[in-house]
Amino acid sequence: MNVSNKAAAPEATAGGAASPAIVQRTDGVYFRADAGAAACVAAVNQLFQARAYFTGIDYGVFIRMLYEAGPELPPEYKDKPLVRFADAVAPFSEQRRSLYKSVRIIAGEAEYYFEPVYLNSGTPEETPSNLDFGEFVADMWEKGIRFGIDAPVVSQAIEEGKSTRLTVARRLSPAPGQDAMIVEVSQKIHRSNAPKEMANGRFDLHTYQNRFPQVAAHTPLLKKVPRVPGTRGFELSGIPVEPPLPEDVELNPMAGAGTVIQHLAGEDFLVSSVEGFINVDRRSKRISIGPKIISREGVSVRTTGNLQLSGEYEEFGEVQEGRVVDGFNITIHADVFGKIVSRGGSIHLKQNLMGGAATNADGPITVGGVVSNSVVHAKVGQVTLNSVQNSVITAPRVIITEATNCEIVADEVVIGVANGCAIAARNISIESAGPRKQSEMLLFALVPDTSKFDQLLQEVAIRLAQLDAQAQKLKAQIDAITSQQDVRSYLTLATKVRKQEVTLTPEQLPLFQKMAVQVGPALKEVARLSVASKEGEGQRAVLEKQAEQLREQKAAVAGEARCKVAAISGETLLRTMVFKPDEGPMIELPPREVKARLRAGTYVQPPIFNSGGGEIDWSTKT
């Protein structure tokens, strides 16, 4: 290829028709912007092999167009068809090429020894000369260094002309990319372990602010940040060095029940499909959302503090002594040493309740293990226990396999074996009962106080007696008036006239009317007394109905109290215990008062049964 530093035309293709990537114009040398990097490399290589070089070369633009590396192109080249990178193309003569020495390449770096240079002009004396950066680039290309020349260092060394060894080029190591990752996009999924602020402005140091986050439906929770590829590196020879492929990650394995994957604005999100609590499986990292809180860390000062929950709760760890779990529909798989409070649903303790308490305002309580030195109270619902020791149990219905030294108050109690217990209930059924060391076996049949109904019935009876006396008095007054001769005669004649048994003549009619006028005042008094008597009869009917209702209410309140013990294994006492229904059920008594009432020993009622053997089958109906 013949190269000349003279521009033959306003625009020409450098390197011939086979190399359209480079364009020479009177104002400089350009790369075509639409030419690929490979085409640019081929064109430059063809030109350098033709013993030419670029004058006034902009090495940054040159490398960017050849390898798409280094600084971005200046803004003025944006959306332009041509990119200027040199002033002109000039021949690189062998005489000038001889000025450039060999280069030493070590560990991806090229070293060059700069020193003053002399041009051999064919005379005995050599002519001092200077290197040229454009020629340096072309010479390095021919020596295999096609990338990474440090243009400022080389240009300064050429300008100074001193003897020095410098690193003139370096390989570009590939820059690693960024692995894909999952990031949180909602602050609502974060726990807050700060102390909870109370209504009075003080802080409860035993309770965290938000231990179990809750989210609404359609809330974005997580987002996938796609992997970012690394930056390609280059050897000095221009051979590319590819970076390692970043790791990818998917959201799908993290989507559990109550969540969906949605593609929003070109990004993948894990979104809640329902309202509920966030639960994260530690092993699978799967996120699920539902009405139940599931925890595996236990309840302690270190992990959770006291809990005040708005939904269902399932705990696989222990509940530490002194900790309180307040929620709804609570299930604990490990031992409980603290206090469990449920506003409804059920309380299910699958292991032991030791020195703690379980209270349910509206639902049953079940303990699968041992209950010891604890309080169990169900306001509404059934308490089902396996083995109970030294505890206070109160509920509408209590079922226990074995109870020892316990105080129990209920409407109905069903126990397999009871030793040394004090039990008060409307209906008691025990298979075997007896004392335990120093603890008596005490049974109390709860009998409601119906004296209020007796008093009301007595008041009704007094009122009925008063009405009866008043009715007798009115009857006597009416008989006294109607027994008078003139009144009796008039009433007899008036009755016969009304029944048309007697017909009055015109002469008799005035006489009959005169009789009516004479007895009129007496008849009016009889009418008044008759009305008063009817009113008394109506009042009596009302009182009799009221008395019947009171008797029915009394019977309903009194009901039937029963106590049945199949086998007695030691001294066992049965008494009745009167309670006042208006003061509320005895199951609402505090534990201390339950113990005081059942163990105080000051009993008004004498024992119904006191024996060291046999059985009990007693009822208020017998």
Q: What is the pLDDT of residues 209-261, one digit of tens each?
A: 455 667 788 888 889 999 999 999 999 999 999 999 999 998 888 888 888 99
Residue 492 CA to residue 484 CA, distance in Å, equals: 12
The rounded mean pLDDT for the chain is 85
Q: How confident is the model at residue 532, as a pLDDT?
A: 84
C-alpha 515/C-alpha 495 separation (Å) is 14
Given this model, what pLDDT does residue 152 score? 95
The amino acid at residue 29 is: V
Amino acid occupying residue 372? S
231, two tokens: 């930056």
Closest CA relative to residue 240, chosen from 104, 45, 63: 63
Q: For residues 81 and 75, what is the distance between their CA atoms, to the nearest angstrom?
A: 13
**Three-state DSSP class for residue 591:** helix
Q: Considering Cα of 385, then 389, then 391, then 396, what sign does the dihedral take? A: positive
pLDDT digit string, tens, across residues 118-166: 887 655 567 888 999 999 999 999 999 999 999 999 999 999 989 999 9
The answer on pLDDT for 57 being more than 80 is: yes
What is the model's pLDDT at position 28? 94
d(CA 420, CA 440) in angstroms, rounded, equals: 5
Separation of alpha carbons 453 and 435, rounded Å: 38
Element housing 111 (H / E): strand 109-114
Q: Of the candidates 13, 12, 16, which has an alpha carbon nearest to the alpha carbon of residue 1?
A: 16
Q: What is the DSSP letter of 300?
A: S
For the residues 86-114, what does the mean pLDDT come to? 93
| pLDDT on residue 3 | 40
The predicted structure's pLDDT at residue 235: 94
Label residue 243 left, alpha or beta by phi (over 0 means left) and psi (-120 to 50 means alpha). beta
Residue 333's pLDDT is 95
Report yes or no: 121 and 127 within 8 Å, Cβ to Cβ: yes
Q: What angle do CA 595, 597, 602 make, to 5 degrees?
A: 125
Q: Measuring CA to CA, which residue among 477, 409, 494 is closest to residue 446?
A: 409
Q: Tell me, what's the pLDDT at 547? A: 85
Kind of pairing between the strands at 382-389 and 392-404: parallel
Q: What share of the chain has pLDDT > 70, as a percent? A: 89
What mean pLDDT comes out for the span 343-358?
95
- Cβ atoms of 234 and 167 within 8 Å: the answer is no
Contact assessment for residue 342 and residue 311, using Cβ atoms and an 8 Å cutoff: no
- pLDDT recorded at residue 622: 64
Q: Please, are residues 350 and 331 in contact by the beta-carbon 8 Å criterion?
A: yes
List % helix, strand, coil for the chain (3-state, nearest 5): 25, 40, 35
DSSP E strand stretches across 236-381: 240-241, 259-264, 267-272, 276-280, 287-290, 292-295, 307-315, 324-332, 339-342, 347-349, 353-354, 357-360, 365-372, 375-378
With residue 462 as reference, give the H or E element that holds it.
helix 451-482
Using alpha carbons only, what angle is made at residue 138 by residues 132 and 141, rounded to the nearest 5 degrees?
A: 140
Q: For residues 406 and 602, give the distance between their C-alpha atoms in angstroms, rounded to a whole number.
A: 19
Task: Grade residue 173 by pLDDT with cuts at 50, 70 and 90.
Answer: very high
Output 103 or 293, whichever has higher pLDDT: 103
Residue with the bigger pLDDT between 582 and 463: it is: 463
Q: Above 90 in pLDDT, residue 285?
A: no
- Rounded Cα–Cα distance for residues 148 and 109 (Å): 9
Q: Which of 198, 210, 204, 197 is nearest to 304 (CA)?
A: 210
The Cβ-side half-sphere exposure at 287, using a 13 Å CA radius, reads: 25
pTM of the model: 0.59
* Residue whose structure tokens are 């046999």: 614
Which residue reads 């370096």 in tokens? 170
In the prediction, which pLDDT does 211 show? Answer: 55
Phi, psi angle pair for 259, to nearest 5°: -130, 155
What does the block give as tokens for 179?
A: 């692995």
- pLDDT the model gives residue 19: 55
- Residue 467 in tokens: 């009405």
Report residue 19 as tokens: 């190399």
Report residue 485 as tokens.
């001769």
Q: How far is CA 254 from CA 112, 214, 226, 293, in A?
A: 57, 18, 16, 18
Tell how strand 347-349 and strand 365-372 pair up. Answer: parallel
CA pseudo-torsion sign 5, 9, 15, 16: negative
Query: What is the maximal distance between C-alpha atoms in the chain?
Result: 195
CB atoms within 10 A of CB 74: 13
Cβ-contact 37, 122 below 8 angstroms: no
109-114 and 164-170: which strand pairing? antiparallel
pLDDT reported for residue 18: 38
Q: Output the six-digit token pair for 115.
A: 């020193």
pLDDT higher than 80, residue 555 = no
Query: Which H/E stretch holds residue 535?
Result: helix 509-558
Residue 614, classed as helix, strand or coil, is: coil
| Alpha-carbon span 169 to 108, nearest angstrom | 8
pLDDT at 604: 58
Q: Per-residue pLDDT tens for 485-529?
A: 777 777 777 777 777 777 777 777 777 677 777 777 877 877 888
Backbone torsions φ then ψ of 431, nearest 5 degrees: -80, -45
Confidence of residue 32 (pLDDT cuts 50, 70, 90): very high
